[in-house]
Structure 1
Amino acid sequence: MTHRSKLLGAAGILALAVLGANPAHAAGTTAGSTITNTVSVAFQVGGISQTGTSASDTLTVDRKVNVTVAEVGTTTTTVSPGQTSAVTTFSVTNSSNAVLDFALTGLQQTGGTAAHSGTDSFDVTNVRIYRDANANGIYDSGTDTLVTYLDELAADGTATVFVVSDVPLSLATGSVAAVTLTATGREGGASGSTGAALVQTTGGNTAGMDTVFADGAGATDSARDAAYSAKDDYTVLAAALSAAKTSRIISDPVNLTTNPKMIPGATIEYCIAVSNASGSATATSIDVNDPLPANITYDSAYGIKTNGTVVSGVCQADGAGSGTFASNTVSGTLASVAAGETKTVLFRATIN
């Protein structure tokens, strides 16, 4: 191999490396660009080279409009009854070969199968759309931008969008609200305002920049309509608390603790058992209040035991916490009751 051949080989390897480091963009050549191709013709007359001739052709690259919207993640958004600012997350990608605006709408489904196989059964309220202002993929109240459209989204650009809603109170576990985010392309005109609606060029190719809709069919929209839609949903996980109040006689002034009877002066033990159904959300900050009737007197010496257990249907005097007694009312707080768990408030009183 000559020295010159070696240099050419090295240059070829370098060129391949540069090409590998700069892959082609999916959007392609920018809309409105011009492509010029010039041909040269050389000839001879009587063996003598003559003045050649050339010709050029210039074309304008048309605008291909293509957008996709996708749910971020693969599971439903779990929410609590009464929760505010519940978030579902989407990505909007401009696969067009031009900068475009995208109008955004968040609509609720009415019945039918939701995104994650549940059945739509309720509507969320106060639906808003935010753009991820700091690009961290997490909804940040007070930081992210409330929007109705994406402004000047670059070709091959992707924006993260949050649909933020409030959940009504008094919903059961398994209730589902389906939401659909649709992004519709608009002219990418001046920054800070929504561009005009896009119009697809009809008929044959023109000399100027034509517009071709190339988007696929989304969740609720058709192919080649300059829009795309995707679904996500909220699924409620609620606590299902039930309370049971039982009593047993401890002693009376005559029989003491042997077969005691409900006579004046007898001591009664009350147990309030709070249970949470299996498969439910953990309930927290549970306040129990029990006003006592006038014909019994609270036993302050025994006190109020909270967070006790139930074994074989019998309340245990093993509560680690303590309650309060004021205004003739027994009160106790249970920090939490998990799914399938039971905790108690236990106290005693005497019959007047």
Structure 2
Amino acid sequence: MTIEYDVAIVGLGAMGSAAAAFLAARGARVLGIETHFPAHALSSSHGDSRLIRLGYFEDPSYVPLLQRAYQNWRAWEAALRTDLLFVAGVLQIGKADSKIVSGTEASCKLHGLPYERLDKTETERRFPAFKLDEGEVAVLDPQGGYLKPEAAVMGALKIAAAHGAELHFGERVTALEPDARGVSIVSSTARYRARKIIVATGAWVADLVPALRPYAMPIRQVVAWYQPQDGFVAQVGRMPCFLRDEGNGGSYFGFPALGADGVKIGRHAHFMEPIDPEKPNPPVNEKDRALLDDFAVRRLLGVASHRVRETTCRYTMLPSEDFLIDFLPGHDNVVISSACSGHGFKFMSVVGEILADLALIGETQLPRSLFSFHRHFGA
């Protein structure tokens, strides 16, 4: 006899695990299926730290979602009795008219968020980890900071399991068969039925949603950790997390010394190098190291002095770099959560709530107009 679940979730990374937590907590009968293991190294949900910030330069429309995400992160922390979100400040550096600086200020002004604009002299006095060029400024988001991604994913799965979710690992879904009553899910070991399904498979999304193949591009991301010469100025509280606009050189992100490996830095989207998600991530090479070493020498001299390790992860990019969170066109029992384009992890705790709303009631009161199929593809 086939057991019918209220909602099945394919992919238990950041967004899938969060959806499982919200759905199970609401009393839904939940099945979660993951090909690998929690917070695995082929996902986009590992590497010790992820930025979170309220003054969102990408688009002010994201700010209400971030405000809700902060509430949800704190609720999870209370439920799990552990820390997930750490307020350390985020410093956005660049020319005054750069997207990172001007966009951050615009979001803060529109939503009444606290921020400080600092000139070169004041930035270097207060935060000696950073060296600014003439004409550059910095905007400090005092409520920004960082998340612990592995702990967040494991915590969401713990909440889901505590509320009765059935979680399968090491099992790959090979086909979805939606019909008028629900969805049949075919995996490497079994067949299941669910009234609704959420597809949150990250770099593998096009395998189950072929319509996304021309658009959702998995790329390789590289980050590296550096030991500081001056460990004092690299400490949390003295060095905030940061974003830096390098003009034609792209944008970089980084963190103070959160652990023994030191200061972590990376360039957003790195070289935009497409990868095959079925293969292991290509190893870090000398070109990767040279890019990050050059930034460390030019911008973080003294606090990113000696590279000690590096690693790769994956982004899944859409052309607009906005998220996709919507019903699959023509199938109101299939919800897609995909392509967070390298800036989505901070939204994990609110995207899970949105996905639970869509799967259980078909709509949400949380804003998601940026994330529809129609907006992305005219579908």
Q: TM-score, normalised by structure 1?
A: 0.18
Bigger CA radius of gyration:
1
| Structure with greater helix percent | 2
